[in-house]
Structure 1
Amino acid sequence: MPLWSRRLWLRRVVWWGGAVAIGLAAILFADAADGVAAMRKAIIRHDPRWMLLVAPLGFALSSFLTRSLFRGAQGSGIPQAIAALHMTDTRQMDRVLSLRIAAGKVLLTVLGIFSGGSIGREGPTVQVGASIMLALGRLVRVPDQASRRALILAGGAAGISAAFNTPLGGIVFAVEELSHSFEARTSGTMLTAVILSGITSLALVGNYSYFGHTTVALPLGRAWEAVLICGMLGGLGGGLFSEILVRAADGLPGAAGRFLVRRPVLFAAGCGLALALIGLVSHGATYGTGYEQAQQLVNGTSDLGASFFALKFIASVLSYLSGVPGGIFAPSLSVGAGIGGAISAWLPHSPAGAVVLLGMVGYFSGVVQAPLTATVIVTEMTDNQGLTVPLLATAFLAYAVSRTVCRRPLYGALATRFLRTQTSSAASGAEPASSGPASSEPLASTSAPSATRSSGMPPV
């Protein structure tokens, strides 16, 4: 179109409004999550045993609503956004990233957090952001796939940026994880969306750092032992977590898989009961996103104990297996902070605060296998550029170790599984997880997962 085309400027104004809407949605999502977390804490203060009832009922309700009213809202939302980038059928793309599914994603994630699920809101915000931008694309009748893909990338990047208040992290996430490339056609739309969503967040909640401001440094010498140890342990732990989730997406083995197929709502209730029991053991530390616990570890004000990271790890696995909507970003950061806090006592030459941040970036990089994204997000969340080089070294070491445990990047593997599920459902005439047929186009930089077993499959 000509530079001063009326239609072109109409699209731009609509997309700018979409970026502002994503910022508003992320803020409201965060407020709702914080509100229900406060309600859950009030229940625990009254009597922690109430969670033995609240968690199973909440998970059962979330599973029922996901499978009946909001099919396609399950999981973190990032695999759905990645899968949509590789769809060629525009109607299918619109169904996967519909505003109805996005609304259900927010509602059910908030319900899961209230019920004590070890889940986060950042991944779901990616799906919400992509859905908002794609809906506006339909409004102005964007005709070509390249422009729709640009809108999905822009919405996903703006979602991460607004959720964490990390604009650079949003851009790097879109390049490294969502698209695996940086194309001139998409870069302008994405950068503009990130900037405007960030301005919206800045105007309404101020210029904050997710975990506050830290000035801790890691001097050269023996202190760098922490880089090696956190990179190794974070990569092993993150790779194990990803491998469990990828294998679970292909189907649970034995009696558990058969029970999941026959009684998915009861299975979710059982996961909720197990989470409540873990919460009682941890005195409530494993419930919710883990933001508060991670912040305490970063600031050195925590008395969580060495078992926290293991219990939070198990709680995160159970939350995923239940099939309730929710992300893994915040819980992964919490587990990583727990790893760093647990080993800091064994590293007297390394500042404890630095070890916590290295553990955080190591485990997070091991889970998502996106070392640049992990480094930039942790750096921006703590407002600490002095640790950039140690964080980078830890993240890339963790990435290499994680790849030996889990050969398939988590989000790419789940996105491939999502597409295959839709394809098989369409071929059999059944309604797919988020409606509509699926493209069989392979995902970039992602190897295909193994064939689906018949023992049951948690939603991706």
Structure 2
Amino acid sequence: MPTLRKRFSNLIHSDHGELFPHEWRRRSGSLLGAVMIGLVALLFAEAADKAQGVFDSMVARWPYSPLVVTPALFVGFAWMTLLVAPAARGSGIPQVIAASRDPDGLLSRGLLGMKTALFKLVVTLGAILGGASVGREGPTVQLGAAIMVGCHRLFGARLTSGVLIAGGAAGVAAAFNTPIAGIAFAIEELASAYEQRVAVLVMGAVMISGLTSQGLAGNYLYFGTLSDPLPVGSALIIAPIAGLAGGALGGLFSRFLLLITRRRREAKSGVFARPLVVALICGVAVGVLGVVTSGATWGTGYAPAKALLEGQDGSVWLGPAKFVTTLATSASGLPGGIFAPSLAVGAGFGKLLAMVFPSESTGAIVLLGMAGYFTGVVRAPLTGVIILSETTGSSGSILPLVLTALIADWSGAQVCKPRLYHALSRDFLPRSEAGDPDIEEKEEERH
């Protein structure tokens, strides 16, 4: 890579100065990065589906194999992550948030290096192959930011926080096939405030990445088409309940995960001081719950969530069991995201809520359950609403979704005040900055 970068540098510079001004080098890096993010995200999605299929085939042939395979892979991948790329652990979104504080320094090189990003991609696929409750969206955000950074460095363009934000947002857009949600995610989660030049860079990268993905995979809906929205009267009753309860449950997940993360960070003795023991315990929990629930908790949770949205019957244990397996997977130290698993937990919660209102559309209530829980975890209501409306084609449910998400954002904050990804980003910052309790407020002022 250094040799290739040097050759490019010779092409764009001459003895008399720059042949191409910085603005053109920045645009070239953004264009190449956005196209590559769309292609890589599509390949990642296909590989994840194949990994899930291989695991499902194994379970169909040997139903109790996850009791051994899942804990073994948890320990193996946790060990590999600690040894090869510690910055690859977890979602990937906190790494981008942390790196944006030092976009052209050692911090971004460690968190967004291609070695880390590619390792994260491979191990996330391995985690899905072992039945872990992980999503590919968070890893795609880190991979997208790494690709965008690499392309800008290739063209010798200056790196800014906006470059990282654009790459991460393009990753969300390509992963869900939802360009508008990518822009919303950049506004709400990756950047605390927005400048006009950053906005143009983000929108351009998101649209190009989304068009690349759609051009190859088609303009599909991630969760399929949802029809039969709730009547206004029913929505005014069910949406606040979904927001209050779903947001509180999402906040509870965040609180538990942050507590476990802090215990692991501060532990000097005991179980939390032994990461491979923690990974083994988490792997056993995921394996046992998966077997007990007949496979309802394996992988991303996309299939059971889609079935519930379509009004099909599903396990009443999906929500509670997926909650525990996603928490266990996240606490194990494995690379992997929580976007898709959180949507699946929300679908399971929506299933339970639909049982209270049997005369209403099950799919529509499940959708509100997903909005409530997801917003409670991520605390990004705009992103949640747009992702769910774009992935289901449910424009008729926008108002109930907005109401649910806004209430869930408040409800989640009452249970867990810190925003999950921003709090987790402290683990990837230098000690002098990580210990600052006002890091999120300072991040907002910096942008």
Query: CA 1:169–1:88 in 2, change beyond 3 Å: closer, same or farther?
Result: closer
Please state if 1:177 is matched with 2:177.
Answer: no
Please state if 1:235 is matched with 2:247.
Answer: yes
Q: Distance in 2 between matches of 1:339 and 1:142?
A: 47
Contact 1:92/1:438 (<8 A) preserved:
no
Quote the offset at 1:259 in angstroms: 1.9
Q: What residue in structure 2 maps to residue 313 of structure 1? A: 323
Work out which of the residue numbers 116, 130, 134 in structure 1 matches 2:131: 116
Query: CA 1:9–1:439 in 2, change beyond 3 Å: closer, same or farther?
Result: farther
Q: What residue in structure 2 maps to residue 371 of structure 1? A: 381
Q: What residue in structure 2 maps to residue 357 of structure 1? A: 367
In structure 2, what residue type is equivalent to 1:172? A
Contact 1:86/1:441 (<8 A) preserved:
no
Q: What residue in structure 1 maps to residue 222 of structure 2? A: 210
Quote the offset at 1:257 in angstroms: 6.7
Q: What residue in structure 1 maps to residue 307 of structure 2? A: 296
SS in 2 for 1:285: coil
Quote the offset at 1:90 in angstroms: 1.2
SS in 2 for 1:251: helix
Quote the offset at 1:89 in angstroms: 6.1
Q: What residue in structure 2 maps to residue 328 of structure 1? A: 338
Q: Distance in 1 between matches of 2:280 and 2:126?
A: 13
Contact 2:235/2:400 (<8 A) preserved:
no
Deviations 1:179-225 (A, max 9, x none): 02221121111111111111111111100010001122122214422
Deviations 1:115-142 (A, max 9, x none): 1111100011000000011111222223
RMSD of aligned alpha carbons:
2.3
SS in 1 for 2:168: helix
Q: What residue in structure 1 maps to residue 431 of structure 2? A: 423
Q: What residue in structure 2 maps to residue 285 of structure 1? A: 296
Q: Distance in 1 between matches of 2:104 and 2:194?
A: 23
Work out which of the residue numbers 45, 50, 57 in structure 2 matches 1:42: 57
Q: State, as a whole percentage, how many aligned pairs show the same letter.
A: 41
Please state if 1:250 is matched with 2:265.
Answer: no
Please state if 1:61 is matched with 2:73.
Answer: no
Query: CA 1:439–1:335 in 2, change beyond 3 Å: closer, same or farther?
Result: closer
Q: What residue in structure 1 maps to residue 166 of structure 2? A: 154
Query: CA 1:439–1:24 in 2, change beyond 3 Å: closer, same or farther?
Result: farther
Contact 1:371/1:392 (<8 A) preserved:
yes
Contact 1:79/1:414 (<8 A) preserved:
yes
Query: CA 1:418–1:187 in 2, change beyond 3 Å: closer, same or farther?
Result: same
Q: Distance in 2 between matches of 1:131 and 1:18?
A: 9
SS in 1 for 2:156: coil
Work out which of the residue numbers 175, 181, 191 in structure 1 matches 2:203: 191
Quote the offset at 1:88 in angstroms: 6.6
Please state if 1:100 is matched with 2:110.
Answer: no
Query: CA 1:325–1:443 in 2, change beyond 3 Å: closer, same or farther?
Result: same
Work out which of the residue numbers 339, 350, 355 in structure 2 matches 1:345: 355
Q: Distance in 1 between matches of 2:203 and 2:266?
A: 47
Query: CA 1:223–1:90 in 2, change beyond 3 Å: closer, same or farther?
Result: closer
Contact 2:263/2:272 (<8 A) preserved:
no
In structure 1, what residue type is equivalent to 2:254? S
Contact 1:243/1:405 (<8 A) preserved:
yes
Q: Distance in 2 between matches of 1:50 and 1:228?
A: 42
TM-score w.r.t. the length of structure 2 is: 0.91
Q: Distance in 2 between matches of 1:237 and 1:446?
A: 28
In structure 1, what residue type is equivalent to 2:270? R
Q: How many residues are paired up?
A: 426
Deviations 1:298-354 (A, max 9, x none): 0012332x2220001000111011110100000000000111111102114532111
SS in 1 for 2:224: coil
Q: Distance in 2 between matches of 1:102 and 1:11?
A: 22
In structure 1, what residue type is equivalent to 2:100? L
Quote the offset at 1:112 in angstroms: 0.8
Worse overlay, 212-221 or 245-254: 245-254
1:8-87 aligned within 5 A: 8-87=23-102
Contact 1:77/1:127 (<8 A) preserved:
yes
Structure 2 stretches of 5 or more lacking a match? 1-18
Contact 2:145/2:163 (<8 A) preserved:
yes
Deviations 1:367-406 (A, max 9, x none): 0011111101111010110000000000000111111100
Worse overlay, 147-156 or 163-172: 147-156
In structure 2, what residue type is equivalent to 1:127? Q
